[in-house]
Structure 1
Amino acid sequence: MRQVIIIGSGPAGYTAAIYAARANLAPLLIASSVEAGGELMKTTEVENYPGFADGIQGPDLMMKMQEQAEKFGTEVVLDDVVSLDLTGDVKTVTLGNGDVHEALTVIFATGSAYRKLGLSDEDRLSGMGVSWCATCDGFFFRKKTIAVVGGGDSAMEEATFLTRFADKVYIIHRKDALRASKVMQDRAMADPKIEILFNKAVEHIYGDTSVTGVGLVDTVDGTETTLDLGGLFIAIGADPRTHLVHGQLDLTTFGTIAVDGRSSRTNLPGVFAAGDVIDPTYRQAVTAAGSGTVAALDAEHYLAGLPASVVAAAEQVEADTIVVPV
């Protein structure tokens, strides 16, 4: 039995692991078999993470986080969680390979996944003109003509933010009216750099090594046109990865895991959540990392309140099974 199991290997998960490991909790981190490192593994240069004045590649940042977590004694397993039982005093985590792990606490940091258009070239050109985060990548589109796909508040906010860098920003929306709040619509429509294309859907993304344009289809009459672009931002929402905890953890109206105020405490004792899976608004690497810190500290405080014999039993199992790097 472990003291802490962390599910998720983005900035929240690895930061939680660093803090938990330095508190001598010897955490086990389940990092996924195919998506270890989270969304930053799909990002090129990250310039807004503190401490890297010249920027850092997303995969490099995640590798450094993993190395730091392992340095202090985190055990990282590259497998997928297939089921959880979080309701008892001892939590059970079942992996795809059949292994079942037990823990006194679980930190759930599975992040969220940006919704995609489902086009064949979307992933191919990810990081080469296709982006899901204006705050992360807007700087790279100075003096360019770009487009934002979407019609909600997020799309309006992304487009307005991108006018700081781009010469021209199109908003592409498949319907004849925006879903965004009136104040967000008014702000976008009043910006001279923004032009809204109604009743248009992106059918193709063009470019060999970077985005050069998109193919549009009119959703009313079916006519097809092309639009020359230097970048495409997709802002049609994100889905928190909560499928493993449905029926066990309370969710918010946004679909994220509900936590108690600014803490990471969920509705179940000993279960904590951190990162994008609790954050429908900011979804930044640095805010996720801070959230992971909160979760590790909350887990540490929870463990400190358990009977000493229970914690000692978990510590003995860890001592018998885990080799801590020197």
Structure 2
Amino acid sequence: MRDIIIIGSGPAGFTAAIYAARAQLTPLLIASSVEVGGELVNTTEVENFPGFPEGIMGPDLMTKIQAQAERFGTEVVYDDVVELDVAGPVKRVKLGNGETHEAKTLVFATGSAYRKLGLPEEELLSGHGLSWCATCDGFFFRQKTIAVVGGGDSAMEEANFLTKFADKVYVLHRRDSLKASKIMQQRAFDNPKIEFVWNVEVSAIRGASAVTGVQLRDTVTGEERELELDGLFVAIGNDPRTHLVHGKLDLTVEGTIAVQGRTSKTSVEGVFAAGDVIDPHYRQAITAAGSGAAAALDAEVFLAGLEDAESVDAEPVPVAVAAN
């Protein structure tokens, strides 16, 4: 039985592995059989991760983080978790190949997935003018014309942020009113760089090697028209990957895994969570990495407590000797 198993291969998972391995906990990290590296592998140039002043490609960054984790002794298994048993003191993880691994602690760092429009062009143009993260990619659209798809708080926040760089930001919304909070709506309405396009949905994204525009369908009349753009940001929400722990761990109203205060401790003793799966707000590589470090440190303290308890239980009980 292992000390620790980490599920997830993004910045949170591999950073947890680095810390756990350096603490000589010999972690086993379960990476996906298909998508290793989290959302960063779908990102082009990353300029806001500390330590890379010239920037670094997302896949290259994850390769370096993984290599660092493996250097200290992390074992990586490329398979998918199909079942979890976290109820007792021994945590059991069943993989798609039928193998079951056991550990005293578990770090759950499966991240989240951005909701997509469901268009075939998304795979081709992702990272080439199409983005799901204004904080990550807004800098590349200086003096450009771009659009944000969505009508919630996230979309309004993205649109306002992008006006720091772009000359023009369209907000494309499928209804004639927003679901964002009043204060977020007003900030967007008051921004002279933002223009709202109501009752439209994106039916196609134009561009062979980079985004050049979108095709819009009127949700009332069905009429189609073109809108020329230099970039498109999709802000229709994201879904934390928590399907494996439904009914096993407490979740928040946002659907993320609930943790205790600023720790990584979940509702089950010995199970810790980190990264986007607990964070509905920031969703940055650097915050995920920090969260992974915290999870490994919390797990290390928990394991030390188990060792102390076991040593106390192992101490011989004094036998009273009757006086003559």
Matched, 1:229 2:247: no
Q: CA–CA distance in 2 between the matches of 1:226 and 1:179?
A: 25
Partner of 1:290: 290
Partner of 2:319: none
Partner of 2:122: 122
- The 3-state SS of whatever aligns with 2:306 is coil
Partner of 1:174: 174
Q: State the identity as a percent.
A: 72
* Residues 226-284 of structure 1: per-residue CA shift (max 9 Å, x gap): 00000000000000000000000000000000000000000100000000000000000
Specify the code of the residue in structure 1 equivalent to 2:262. R
Partner of 2:98: 98
Partner of 1:251: 251
Give the unaligned 5+ runs of structure 2: 312-324
Deviation (angstroms), 1:4: 0.3
Give the unaligned 5+ runs of structure 1: 312-326
Q: CA–CA distance in 1 between the matches of 2:218 and 2:288?
A: 39
* Residues 137-181 of structure 1: per-residue CA shift (max 9 Å, x gap): 000011110000000000000000000100100000001100001
- The 3-state SS of whatever aligns with 1:18 is helix
Q: What value does the CA root-mean-square deviation take over the aligned residues?
A: 1.0
Deviation (angstroms), 1:309: 8.8
Partner of 1:80: 80
Q: CA–CA distance in 2 between the matches of 1:284 and 1:65?
A: 15
Deviation (angstroms), 1:123: 1.3
Runs of 4+ in 1 over 4 A off after TM superposition: 308-311
Partner of 1:304: 304
| Larger gyration radius, structure 1 or structure 2 | 2
- The 3-state SS of whatever aligns with 2:137 is helix
Q: CA–CA distance in 2 between the matches of 1:92 and 1:248?
A: 13
Partner of 1:206: 206
- The 3-state SS of whatever aligns with 1:306 is helix
Partner of 1:63: 63
Partner of 2:186: 186
Deviation (angstroms), 1:307: 3.6
- CA 1:71 to 1:88, structure 2 compared with 1: closer, same or farther past 3 Å? same
- The 3-state SS of whatever aligns with 1:93 is strand
- The 3-state SS of whatever aligns with 2:19 is helix
What TM-score comes out, normalization by structure 1 length?
A: 0.94
Partner of 2:160: 160
Q: CA–CA distance in 1 between the matches of 2:216 and 2:254?
A: 30
* Residues 98-151 of structure 1: per-residue CA shift (max 9 Å, x gap): 110000000000000000000010111000011000000000011110000000
Q: CA–CA distance in 2 between the matches of 1:49 and 1:240?
A: 22
Q: CA–CA distance in 1 between the matches of 2:119 and 2:189?
A: 28
Q: CA–CA distance in 2 between the matches of 1:310 and 1:211?
A: 60
* Residues 59-105 of structure 1: per-residue CA shift (max 9 Å, x gap): 00000000000000000111000000011100000000111000000
Deviation (angstroms), 1:187: 0.5
Specify the code of the residue in structure 2 equivalent to 1:304. A
Q: CA–CA distance in 2 between the matches of 1:65 and 1:99?
A: 26
- The 3-state SS of whatever aligns with 2:171 is strand
- The 3-state SS of whatever aligns with 2:286 is helix
